[in-house]
Amino acid sequence: MRVLVVEDEKQLAIALKKGLEAEGFAVDVALTGTDGLWMARENDYDLHILDIMLPEVNGYQICATLRDEGVWTPILMLTAKDGEFDEAEALDSGADDYLTKPFSYVVLLARLRALLRRGGRERPAVLESGSLRLDPATRRCWRSETEVKLTAREVSLLEFLLRHENEVVSKREILDHVWDYAFEGSPNIVEVYIKHLRSKIDRPFGLDTIHTVRGSGYRLASDGD
Ligand code: CA
């Protein structure tokens, strides 16, 4: 899942990026409102985290602009002071949730997970496909009753494939959602990770659920398809 953090307090922005990346998110950071709005329009994120008080364009304005333009990506606002006024204004401008600084990291993660589940269509907390189950919140994965150990990046890749079960997803889409904007390595990294996943969730079980679609990308099919 790819997240945009718009926050002008550099230390907080860096801490958020590091923390969320450790949880398997791909994170881009913008330090000004102008950059944040540009990046939000230019890229396809699964979630936006917006500070309210920002140089140039503030968080309310970014939020209202995106909503006006029909961008419905879930938005979590960070408010510096508490008070009903801020909360009301954040929600009025089209944010889905808000958090008052200073916040606990555990609470932030729980809110983000809740927003991702709610975002767009209803999403189950635990993702399933045939005998495969993935709980993105705890990063645990099972094939039938056997638990499969995955790295943070593998969880992120599998989560993306599961959210697009039976659809063909291109390498580019995978790179955009599972790696971040600054990633400049070879797109072949996707093949490498697909191979890792197959060796963990398919091969030991005699299955072949991650199909290569020549010239297009990959498709996760439930077992037996
Ligand atoms: Ca600020």
pLDDT in tens, 139-166: 789 999 999 999 888 988 999 999 899 9
pLDDT (0 to 100) of residue 164: 92
Q: How confident is the model at residue 225 (pLDDT cuts 50, 70, 90)?
A: very low
Last residue of a domain, one of 66, 91, 118: 118
pLDDT digits (tens, 9 = 90+) for 164-176: 999 999 998 898 8
pLDDT (0 to 100) of residue 95: 84
Give how many domains the chain has, as a whole number.
2
Q: What is the pTM assigned to this prediction?
A: 0.59
Amino acid at 95: A
How close is the Cα of 10 to the center of ligand 1, in Å? 9
pLDDT at residue 116 tops 90: no
Owning domain of residue 82: 2-118
Residues 143 and 102 in one domain: no
How close is the Cα of 53 to the center of ligand 1, in Å? 4
How close is the Cα of 56 to the center of ligand 1, in Å? 11
How close is the Cα of 76 to the center of ligand 1, in Å? 14
Residues 87 and 148 in one domain: no
How close is the Cα of 87 to the center of ligand 1, in Å? 16
Residues 104 and 138 in one domain: no
Q: How confident is the model at residue 119 (pLDDT cuts 50, 70, 90)?
A: low
pLDDT at residue 9 tops 60: yes
Query: Mean of the per-residue pLDDT values for the chain?
Result: 87
CB 76 within 8 A of CB 96: yes
Residues 47 and 138 in one domain: no
Mean pLDDT of 103-131: 80
How close is the Cα of 104 to the center of ligand 1, in Å? 17
How close is the Cα of 132 to the center of ligand 1, in Å? 42
Q: How far is CA 108 from CA 16, 112, 113, 169, 218, in A?
A: 10, 6, 9, 29, 32
Cα–Cα distance between 159 and 1 in angstroms, integer?
Answer: 8
How close is the Cα of 152 to the center of ligand 1, in Å? 29
Last residue of a domain, one of 92, 118, 144: 118
Mean pLDDT of 211-217: 92
How close is the Cα of 52 to the center of ligand 1, in Å? 6
Strand blocks (E) in the chain: 2-6, 26-30, 47-51, 75-79, 97-100, 127-129, 132-135, 140-143, 146-148, 168-169, 210-213, 217-220
